[in-house]
């Protein structure tokens, strides 16, 4: 039974046991320590499950050690109750320590240098990464300098998703109208696999991206490439980008609309809309009064129903026509042939000698 399982898993990469970042390293250590502690109970139980039936089988001849009057042993009682209790205490202590140490909202203060700020938005069905300090944005590609802490702010434009780069850190959810945080660092240069780990519709299987960990010089060169490529991510460009597409190519934007990420979180990207944070503050102060009635349309926050404008039939036909190549799904039911393609140098990626680590 185990042999087919081993063969089936032989093509998989043990990325959880071979991480490339401090956070993922700590998670691996916790996984191993917890497994070893639990094996202290599991292994003896498995051994006894085989040994005891064999030792006291009906057909054995030597029965002089059989005591039908046996009813209590302080040694056995202490072992049966004491070992599990100690293991539970040890697991509880490990959980407490690592829960605080690996809190996704906790900055990596032990990493020297100024952290890199990145804003991540899960769209249908692609990822948008905004570098606010550099005023650039990238679709479906995340580039990080090695040995530098990264502060990620995350949200979603529609349904719930999960940001996951197993080689570098744990998973974190992205939700519309909310902001989550994740802190990570890449210790080793390379190319790592990232994706959404939460089902979010027909394009979910193609919602992945490559993460490049490069040297500081390579990172600066890449920034220069992005700043001289593509177009600006204006509000109109974002609203077009937010429409459902599948298997989008890497796209570069050399400028980003002011406070775009905060507007996405506030569900107020559309010009003239009031952000939900401002709505809540106004409600706490007693509401908008008569003037609020006159401007009630501005209080209807942005809403992107899952799959809005997505032609499922056309999407399936496109995949069947090109089964071996990533393809775009239609983004506009009025013009099914139109696809988002803000490519301008987007195929240019930092050097990474390693294969993608999943």
At residue 331, the pLDDT reads 28
Helix (H, G, I), strand (E, B) or coil at 173: strand
Same structural domain, 202 and 87: no
Residue 90 shares a structural domain with residue 170: no
Q: Would the pLDDT of 52 be above 50?
A: yes
pLDDT reported for residue 8: 62
pLDDT, one tens digit per residue, over 271-288 is: 877 777 766 666 666 666
Instruction: Say which DSSP state 299 is in.
Output: G
Q: What is the DSSP letter of 249?
A: P
Residue 123 sits in the same domain as residue 94: no
Tell me how many domains the chain contains.
2
Please indicate, yes or no, if residue 346 is contained in any of the structural domains.
no
For residue 170, the domain's CATH number is 2.60.40.420
Residue 68 pLDDT > 50: yes
Quick check: is 109 in a domain? no
Chain center to CA of 114: 23
Query: Which of 265, 300, 321 represents a domain boundary (last residue)?
Result: 265
Looking at the structure, tell me whether residues 42 and 182 fall in a common domain. no
Q: Are residues 124 and 250 in the same domain?
A: yes
Name the pLDDT band for 298 (thresholds 50, 70, 90): low
- Residue 324 pLDDT greater than 60, yes or no: no
Residue 128 pLDDT exceeds 90: yes
Residue 278: what pLDDT?
A: 67
With a cut of 70, say whether residue 132 has pLDDT above it.
Answer: yes
* pLDDT for 114 beyond 80: yes
φ and ψ at residue 158, rounded to 5 degrees:
-145, -105
Question: Does 20 lie in the same domain as 151?
Answer: no
Predicted local distance difference test score (pLDDT) of residue 154:
97
105 CB-near residues (< 8 Å, 6+ apart): 181, 183
Residue 293 resides in a domain: no
Residue 289 inside a domain? The answer is: no
* Residue 310 pLDDT: 57
Residues 180 and 127 in one domain: yes
Q: Which of 67, 102, 137 is the last residue of a domain?
A: 102
Could you tell me if residue 306 is inside a domain?
A: no
348 pLDDT more than 80: no
Question: In this structure, are 171 and 236 located in the same domain?
Answer: yes
Dihedrals φ, ψ of 304, to 5°? -120, 95
Question: Which candidate, 162, 180, 179, places its Cα nearest to that of 266?
Answer: 179
Would you say residue 298 lies in a domain? Answer: no
The confidence score (pLDDT) of residue 65 equals 72
Residues 125 and 38 in one domain: no
Q: What is the pLDDT of residue 337?
A: 35
| Same domain, residue pair 227 and 158 | yes
**162-179 b/e (C-beta count within 10 Å ≥ 16 → b):** bbbbbbbbbebbbbbbeb
Does some domain include residue 34? yes
What is the rounded average pLDDT for all residues in the chain? 80
Which residue did the predictor score with more confidence, 140 or 342? 140
Which of these three, 212, 230, 265, is where a domain ends? 265
| Structural domain range at position 44 | 15-48+81-102
Task: Classify residue 244: in a domain, yes or no.
Answer: yes
pTM: 0.77
Residues 95 and 198 in one domain: no
What distance in Å separates the CA atoms of residue 120 and residue 128, rounded to the nearest whole number?
6
Is the pLDDT score of 195 beyond 60? yes
Query: Do 171 and 231 have their domain in common?
Result: yes
Q: Could you read off the pLDDT of 17-45 as tens digits, one per residue? A: 778 889 999 999 999 999 999 998 899 88
Q: What is the pLDDT of residue 302?
A: 58
Q: Which is more confidently placed, 336 or 297?
A: 297
């Amino acid at each position: 039974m185990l042999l087919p399982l081993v063969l089936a898993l032989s093509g998989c990469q043990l990325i959880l046991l071979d991480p490339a970042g401090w956070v993922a390293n700590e998670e691996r250590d916790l996984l191993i320590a917890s497994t070893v502690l639990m094996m202290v109970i599991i292994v003896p139980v498995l051994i006894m499950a085989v040994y005891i039936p064999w030792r006291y089988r009906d057909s054995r001849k030597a029965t002089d050690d059989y005591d039908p009057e046996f009813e209590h042993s302080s040694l056995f009682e202490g072992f049966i109750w004491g070992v599990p209790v100690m293991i539970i205490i040890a697991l509880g202590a490990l959980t407490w320590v690592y829960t605080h140490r690996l809190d996704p909202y906790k900055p990596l203060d032990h990493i020297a240098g100024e952290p890199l700020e990145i804003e991540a938005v899960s769209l249908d069905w692609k990822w948008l990464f905004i570098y606010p300090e550099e005023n650039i944005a990238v679709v479906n590609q995340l580039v990080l300098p090695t040995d530098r802490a990264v502060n990620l702010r995350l949200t979603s434009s529609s349904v719930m998703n999960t940001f996951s780069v197993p080689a570098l850190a744990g998973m974190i959810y992205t939700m519309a109208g909310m902001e989550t945080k994740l802190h990570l660092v890449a210790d080793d240069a390379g190319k790592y696999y990232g994706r959404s780990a939460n089902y979010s519709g027909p394009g979910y299987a193609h919602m992945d991206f490559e993460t490049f960990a490069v040297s500081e010089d390579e990172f600066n060169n890449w920034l220069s490439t992005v700043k001289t490529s593509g177009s600006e991510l204006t509000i109109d460009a974002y609203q077009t980008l937010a429409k459902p597409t599948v298997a989008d190519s890497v796209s570069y934007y050399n400028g980003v609309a002011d406070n775009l990420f905060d507007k996405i979180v506030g569900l107020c990207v559309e010009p003239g809309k009031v952000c939900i944070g401002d709505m809540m503050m106004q409600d706490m102060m007693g509401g908008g009064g008569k003037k609020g009635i006159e401007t009630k349309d501005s209080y209807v926050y942005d809403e992107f129903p899952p799959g809005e404008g997505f032609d499922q039939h056309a999407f399936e036909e496109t995949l069947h026509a090109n089964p071996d190549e990533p393809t775009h799904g239609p983004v506009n039911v009025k013009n099914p042939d139109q696809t988002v393609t803000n490519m301008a140098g987007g195929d240019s990626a930092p050097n990474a000698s390693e294969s993608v680590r999943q």
